[in-house]
């Protein structure tokens, strides 16, 4: 029984990885398959209907091929428009008409506000359907009181980087940036820290986008609205996509 379970699990894992590579191969104009060891897979989101995408800089850094997957069988090559390594932000573009999310133009992200994130964590194991997690804003600043970011508790995993952090009204208040390495930190503090995650503020993202024509679309932050996670997922999931980058 144990051997059968192990075989089934590893077969599933191999098939999942092959699925991702096959999707990217369909999107590419080249016939060769991409090497999964040199691949970065993360989340991104459209900020207007002309194919502009926000994701994390570290995902596409030094990568020669970048694709945005609009479905499990359809992808588009993405062009890098602008990057900021320090803020870990990248602006990409594909040639397509796209759904999009609205950014919050609020300068503040109040502690205690409900938030959700939608993205593509651990796709080789969990697949290409978008995953949603829920939490709150723990602090209006980031590591060492960094004012460009804030701390939140919604669970994130490898692959969530570059995805949106969404407020109760459905506007994007941040870009998922990083999480604390709990195991490494526990070695130094003898305390296992959980769900300590950080996002770049939407106000910082808007400043990053200054000077780029026709973007972004913004709406006011409605921090005290009830969080309707089901509605947000249904309305926004098409605007949030996997980003695949390879050497």
Residue owning tokens 């503090």:
189
Q: Where are the beta strands (DSSP E) in 143-247?
A: 149-152, 164-166, 172-179, 197-201, 218-219, 240-246
Task: Give the Cα separation of 105 and 204 in Å (integer).
Answer: 10
Q: Using alpha carbons, list the distances in angstroms from residue 246 to 41, 43, 82, 133.
A: 9, 15, 18, 27
- Catalytic residue check, 58: yes
Q: Is 31 left (phi over 0), alpha (psi -120 to 50) or beta?
A: alpha
Q: Using alpha carbons, list the distances in angstroms from residue 102 to 46, 86, 112, 202, 226.
A: 9, 24, 21, 10, 18
Task: Give the Cα separation of 205 and 34 in Å (integer).
Answer: 31
Q: Residue 148: what are its φ and ψ, rounded to 5°?
A: -85, -10
Nearest to 42 by CA among 122, 133, 140, 151: 122
- Catalytic residue check, 105: no
Q: How is residue 239 annotated by DSSP?
A: G
Q: Which of 43, 56, 88, 104 is catalytic?
A: 88
Structure tokens at 16: 């999942």
- Catalytic residue check, 88: yes
Q: How many CA atoms lie within 13 A of 6 on its CB side?
A: 3
Q: Which of 16, 28, 58, 105 is catalytic?
A: 58
The catalytic site residues sit at: 58, 88, 161
């Amino acid at each position: 029984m144990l051997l059968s379970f192990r075989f089934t699990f590893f077969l599933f894992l191999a098939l999942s990885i092959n699925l991702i590579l096959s999707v990217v191969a369909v999107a590419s104009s080249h016939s060769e398959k991409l090497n999964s060891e040199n691949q970065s897979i993360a989340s991104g989101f459209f900020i207007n209907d002309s194919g502009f995408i926000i994701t994390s800089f570290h995902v596409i850094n030094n990568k020669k091929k970048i694709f945005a997957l609009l479905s499990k069988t359809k992808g588009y090559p993405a062009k890098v428009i602008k990057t900021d390594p320090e803020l870990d932000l990248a602006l990409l573009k594909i040639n397509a008409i796209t759904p999009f999310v609205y950014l919050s133009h609020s300068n503040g992200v109040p502690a205690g506000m409900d938030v959700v994130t939608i993205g593509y964590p651990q796709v080789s194991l969990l697949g290409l359907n978008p995953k949603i997690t829920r939490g709150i804003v723990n602090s209006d600043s980031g590591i060492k009181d960094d004012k460009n970011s804030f701390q939140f508790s919604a669970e994130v995993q490898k692959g969530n980087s570059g995805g949106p952090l969404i407020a109760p009204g459905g506007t994007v208040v941040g870009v998922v940036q990083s999480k604390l390495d709990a195991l490494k930190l526990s070695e130094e503090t003898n305390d296992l820290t959980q769900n300590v995650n950080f996002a770049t503020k939407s106000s910082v993202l808007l400043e990053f986008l200054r000077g780029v024509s026709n973007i972004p679309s913004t709406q006011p932050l409605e921090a005290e609205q009830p969080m309707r996670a089901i509605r947000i997922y249904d309305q926004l999931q098409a605007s949030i996509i996997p980003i695949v980058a390879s050497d």
